[in-house]
Amino acid sequence: MPADTNTPLILLSGLAADGRILTPQKVRFRWLHCPAWLPPDRDESIDEYAKRLADTLDAGPCIIGGASFGGIVALHLARHVDAQAVILIGSIKSPSQLPVYARCARPFRFLIPFIPIRFLQWLTRPMTAKRFKRFAPFAYGLACQFRDSDPRIFRWSLSRILDWSSDPVVSCPIYHLHGDRDWTLPLRYTDPDRIVAGGGHVISLTHPADVNDFIRHVLYHKDVDNPHDGNASQQIR
């Protein structure tokens, strides 16, 4: 049965991002909830974090998902809520879909606590000036989100990406949308249900109509091509 506005829709933002990255989806789906990231314990696993996040939602039957790292957490969250479906936006389903650079960086995870996040945030300040917004609104938005991100959450998220090693067990359908020019999580390592032509890593902002159409199909029709069954993907033009 198609979902309606009584079915909670919960989407998680990506690494160093917040709900602003899903603003076009909030405008289209008024009942969309984008929970803020909880402060993590330093060595907390993704599954432990997802369980703690689930305790704050009290959503009942719901459709969940996320962008980038938010999609990874959503896959684990599906174990702890009554998820009817999981929507991945520029994300991946399995550690085997991590790009080569992420796998090669795993031995260096111990260096993450030494990354000077505050200094890097300070370096991005020129990109958060209002005059910069006129010339590069997309870069301005990302810079503002990185500037405002919590270093603890950034470090924890980066660590969990690098030590993510087991496939989450998900009992509901998984629907995956990905950009064909995503250099952060390259398309060639994934098997999405639909591909956004010309889409980079932040398609929720750069291609909102495509993302909203994909979500609408999941919510109301459940007829997106072969959710996670290994068949060919369809390209959105």
Residue-wise pLDDT tens digits, 181-195: 999 999 999 999 999
Query: Would 104 be classed as within a structural domain?
Result: no
CA atoms within 13 A on the CB side of 39: 3
User: Which backbone phi and psi does 187 adopt, to 5 degrees?
Assistant: -55, -35
SS3 199: coil
- The tokens describing 110, both together, are 């111990």
On whether the CB atoms of residues 86 and 174 are closer than 8 A, the answer is: yes
Give the Cα separation of 182 and 82 in Å (integer).
Answer: 31
Burial of 134 (0-12, 13-18, 19+ CB in 10 A): exposed
Query: Would 123 be classed as within a structural domain?
Result: no
Residue-wise pLDDT tens digits, 80-137: 999 999 999 999 999 999 999 999 999 999 999 999 988 988 888 888 887 887 777 7
Query: Would 110 be classed as within a structural domain?
Result: no
Query: Would 191 be classed as within a structural domain?
Result: yes
Mean pLDDT computed over every residue of the chain: 87
Query: Would 71 be classed as within a structural domain?
Result: yes
Query: Would 78 be classed as within a structural domain?
Result: yes
Share of residues in the chain with pLDDT > 90 (%): 64
The more confident residue out of 174 and 140 is 174
pLDDT at 229: 45
Query: Would 147 be classed as within a structural domain?
Result: no
pLDDT at 3: 47
3-state SS string for 124-152: CHHHHCHHHHHHCHHHHHHHHHHHHCCHH
Task: Judge whether residue 48 has pLDDT over 60.
Answer: yes
Question: Residue 188 sits in a domain of what CATH number?
Answer: 3.40.50.1820
Sequence-separated (6 or more) residues with CB below 8 Å from residue 62: 7, 8, 9, 10, 81, 82, 83, 84
pLDDT at 1: 37
Kindly tell me the number of DSSP H helices and DSSP E strands found in the chain.
Answer: 10, 7
Task: Judge whether residue 167 has pLDDT over 70.
Answer: yes
H-helix or E-strand spanning residue 89: strand 83-89
Task: Tell me what the mean pLDDT of segment 171-183 comes to.
Answer: 95
Task: Judge whether residue 232 has pLDDT over 60.
Answer: no
State how many domains the chain has: 1
Banded model confidence at residue 228, pLDDT cuts 50, 70, 90: low
Residue 69 lies in domain: 9-99+165-236
Banded model confidence at residue 227, pLDDT cuts 50, 70, 90: low
Query: Would 85 be classed as within a structural domain?
Result: yes
Banded model confidence at residue 230, pLDDT cuts 50, 70, 90: very low
